[in-house]
Chain A
Amino acid sequence: MLDVRARHRFADFELDASFATSGGITVLFGASGSGKSTIANLVAGLLRPQEGRVVLGGRVLCDRQNNIWVPPHRRRIGYVFQDARLLPHLTVRKNLTYGRWFSKAPNDPKEFAHVVDLVGLNSLLERRPAHLSGGEKQRVAIGRALLCEPELIIADEPLAALDQARKAEILPYFERLRDAIDTPMLYVSHSSSEVSRLASTVVALSEGRVLQQGHPASVFGNPAVLPMGPRGAGSVLEVVVSKQHSDGLTELSAGGQRLFVPHTPQAVGARVSVRIAAHDVILARKLPEEISALNILPGLVTQIHMGEGPGAMVAIESPAGRFLARVTQRSVHRLDLVPGAKCFAIIKSVAIAPRDIH
């Protein structure tokens, strides 16, 4: 679908990245300064790479070797910027239809109504951007990008400028988009919870290079991929809600293993993903007894990545899936943890917050 290969040197930073995606939501994931936004800009045509090639759905947008360059206004890529960038002199309605005017698409009132519904802007159409909240602005930006009938939507950290409450307001719109519209999306983010909720593919970046690309579970299960540093590390388990208990716990089933988490509203039978932060996992060599933690998963150590400080990242393969545990190097030596070693992973139920479950 989208095929990017680019090299670009700035004064203090060099991007050298290549990846290919196949529809759905691809999340470019990495710390600030890892080159995510640079990639977004060169896909959109706002930056001309010194070397490289960008192909979207078979259409060559940029090829430095063969001197091909499609300017941004002919790329048909809807861009949702971090700061919305609505045109201040136009009403919400005119902002929304701005792109349609140039795409020469027939003015389809049904399509307009559909998108306005999707982003919930019915009551705000005649307002000007100065009178919108941050969340409302971002919804206009999403609607505006959709209405120019793009072949790809780029969203560059669309939630980063919003507070927690507004983030929770906007994220569902992207989920709806993913489910309701089959336009592929390139979503730039440094938040692993956004990744686990949205991504069908993750491209993990660090210092201008692609570390790994793949399914979120496999990317986050790799102890060497820590674009956000060890504190932000975590893994994602794909599970099924199996029972709602009367004491306020929800029971999940993951590959035959039971997992207890604080109550989550999803119905029994629903497939959800649970994000488990690496520093919330305790490792033991023997099955612990009389312990308060409710979740004990048996597993095998597959990989150990020693950090530069006292910490180590241990990847565990269990029937429930792959996940990461962050422990000290001292513990690694004391427990004699080596690839292939049997162990038990202990996860406190209360360490899993409702926002980790989607």
Chain B
Amino acid sequence: MQNLLSPMEWQAVLLSIKVAFWATLTMTPLALLTAYALVRWEFPGKSILNGLAHLPLILPPVVTGYMLLLLFGTQGLVGGWLQDIGIVLAFRWTGAALAAGVMAFPLMVRALRLSLEAIDIRLEQAAATLGASPVWIFVTVTLPLMIPGVLTGTILAFAKALGEFGATITFAANIPGQTQTIPSAIYALLQVPGQEAVAARLVVISVCLALTALFLSEALARRARKRLEGI
């Protein structure tokens, strides 16, 4: 493997996985909360939340990246405050993770929403009559029954985060070893004549990573569904 890829390509692959992993991990609880609020709660501004959650899906990625820069850049609204407590996101790998996470967020919310809508509320009522408080109902009934949806959602988000380009390059730039993920490395290689072969290797790797994630999620979700149906 080592001599198959140059150090720069190797770095890009590892960084991509790291970025996608953290993007998915941090966005999952947030997406869960958003999906739950959208399906189960009635509150003013629900359609605004729904719109916001879907915004990254419909905006040009560059615009999302630019908005992240405005918000989380060192001069930004939140970024300035974060810098005071020692957290800098822009032009760091953490920023790439944030951008990838934001872009993957709508996909995850959609998957979680579907699985939450499929849950029979009457089962939760039954749990309530057995003494389970709303929080315990969520932990012992709702969440376990959502597992197939959670798996689908996280893997989908992981694959999306792995391939995110527009928002990442806008917000985190394309610094080899720091913020250069597979897609930005491919983009950089294609700018230089004669590097097509190297780019092709990265393309193959990214296809393999995405497919592996997809098959894994399918297999896990199938297993979880079987467990739920007790087969």
Contact = CB atoms under 8 A, between A and B. Distances in A.
A46 B128 contact: yes
A129 B122 contact: no
A85 B131 contact: no
Interface stretch (B15-23, B70-78, B178-186, B222-230): B222-230
Interface residues of B, number: 23
* Chain B facing A: main interface SS: helix
Interface string B126-139: 11111111101000
B230 A128 contact: yes
A88 B120 CA distance: 11
Given A46-B128, A71-B133, A98-B130, 20 more contacts: A72-B128, A72-B129, A73-B133, A73-B134, A75-B129, A76-B131, A79-B129, A83-B122, A87-B140, A87-B141, A89-B145, A89-B228, A101-B131, A102-B133, A103-B131, A128-B230, A130-B229, A131-B230, A144-B130, A145-B129
A73 B126 contact: no
A73 B126 CA distance: 10
Contacts of A128: 230
Most B CB atoms within 10 A — which of A44, A78, A102, A129? Answer: A102
Interface in A55-79: 71-79
A148 interface: yes
A73 B128 contact: yes
Contacts of B228: 88-89
B170 to A, nearest CB: 43
B207 interface: no
Interface in A129-148: 129-131, 144-145, 148
B123 interface: yes
A46 B125 contact: yes
A46 B129 CA distance: 8
Interface in B90-140: 120, 122-123, 125-134, 136, 140
Contacts of B145: 88-89
A81 interface: yes
A101 to B, nearest CB: 8
A88 B145 CA distance: 8
A158 interface: no
Given A88-B230, A130-B229, A81 B122 contact: yes
Given A85-B122, A87-B123, A130 B231 contact: yes
Contacts of B123: 85, 87-88
Interface in B130-184: 130-134, 136, 140-141, 144-145
A73 B132 contact: yes
A88 B126 CA distance: 12
Interface of B: 120, 122-123, 125-134, 136, 140-141, 144-145, 227-231
19 contacts: A46-B125, A46-B128, A73-B132, A73-B134, A77-B129, A81-B126, A85-B125, A86-B126, A87-B123, A87-B141, A88-B123, A88-B230, A89-B228, A98-B132, A102-B131, A131-B230, A145-B130, A148-B130, A148-B131
Instruction: List the 4 shortest-distance A-B pairs measured between CB atoms, nearest first.
Output: A128-B230, A102-B131, A130-B230, A99-B130
A86 B227 CA distance: 15
A37 to B, nearest CB: 12
Contacts of A81: 122, 126
A79 B126 contact: yes
Contacts of A78: 129-130
A128 B229 CA distance: 8
Contacts of A86: 126
A1 to B, nearest CB: 19
Given A89-B227, A130-B230, A98 B127 contact: yes
Interface in A40-62: 44-46
A131 B131 CA distance: 25
Nearest to A81: B126
A14 B129 CA distance: 25
Nearest to A103: B131
Contacts of B134: 73
A128 B122 CA distance: 18
A22 to B, nearest CB: 23
A87 B129 contact: no
Interface in A89-130: 89, 98-99, 101-103, 127-130
A85 B126 contact: yes
